[in-house]
Amino acid sequence: MTDNPLVALIARGEADRTTTLAALALEQGWVIPADRRAFLHLARRATPDAPESAAFFTLLAQGEALAAERLRPFAKACGVTEERDLTYAPLPGCQAYPAYVAWLALNAEPAEAVLALTVNFSAWGGYCATIARALRRHYGFTDEACAFFDFFAQPSPELERQATAAVREGRDAGRVDEARAREYGRLLQSYEEMFWSTLRGPTA
């Protein structure tokens, strides 16, 4: 179980499919392309001085492209129509997370951004694993409809290896301020929590 109130609600099968789950899909529809562009920008900033960081962010951007493809069946299973998708007004509290990722893309040293992002990976992966189980157990979603969450729930040894190499590269070059990187990570986790609490508030 999780201490995230919305994820816990989904885990019990108590989140409404066409409001709460649909809003989750719609918000992710805004988050994913924004994060992908931020990661591509970080990859460009890291090239050629920090090739390991560039490779890490390129890998993340590729993952976001795959996630976007997997999000569509989930949204459809939640009853999201094309018209609803086009007219949806995203919630500011949910979009604070990608806005901060974009801030990191513009301002943070690439290796420090690597550190900040990886701090949040474990929690996000755990949430996705819990949601994927609940969608099957309580909502009868197909594997295709759960694929978005399955994708993020699976450990990625290659991503972990690349993150380690990127941070080592940054430290060796003297481009990592540990305290600043921790602060970036703290803020990112706060915005992650804001995403879930905002989503739960108006829709659950």
Q: Can you spell out the DSSP letters for 21-66?
A: IHHHHHHHHHHHHHHHHHHHHHHHHHTTT-HHHHHHHHHHHHHHHH
| Least confident segment among 1-5, 21-25, 161-165 | 1-5
For residue 100, give the 3-state DSSP assignment.
helix
For the domain that residue 36 is a member of, what is the CATH number? Answer: 1.20.910.10
Q: Mind listing the pLDDT tens digit for each residue in 77-135?
A: 999 999 999 999 999 999 999 999 999 999 999 999 999 999 888 889 999 999 999 99
Using an 8 Å Cβ cutoff, are 47 and 169 in contact? no
Q: What is the predicted pLDDT for the residue at 204?
A: 40
Q: Cα dist. 164→89, 102, 111, 124, 169 in Å? A: 38, 22, 10, 19, 9
Q: Mind listing the pLDDT tens digit for each residue in 160-187?
A: 999 999 999 999 999 999 999 999 999 9
| Range 73-90 burial, b when 16+ CB lie within 10 A, else e | bbbebbebeeeeeeebee
Using an 8 Å Cβ cutoff, are 20 and 199 in contact? yes
Task: Report the alpha-carbon distance of residue 54 to residue 109 in Å, rounded.
Answer: 12
Number of domains in the chain: 1
pTM for this model (two decimals): 0.95
Residue 69's domain comprises 5-203
| 167 CA to centre of own chain | 20
Task: Report the alpha-carbon distance of residue 5 to residue 14 in Å, rounded.
Answer: 11
**Rounded average pLDDT over 66-86:** 98
Name the residue among 199, 176, 159, 134 with its Cα closest to residue 46.
176
* Structural tokens at position 147: 């694929």
Name the residue among 96, 120, 89, 78 with its Cα closest to residue 34.
96
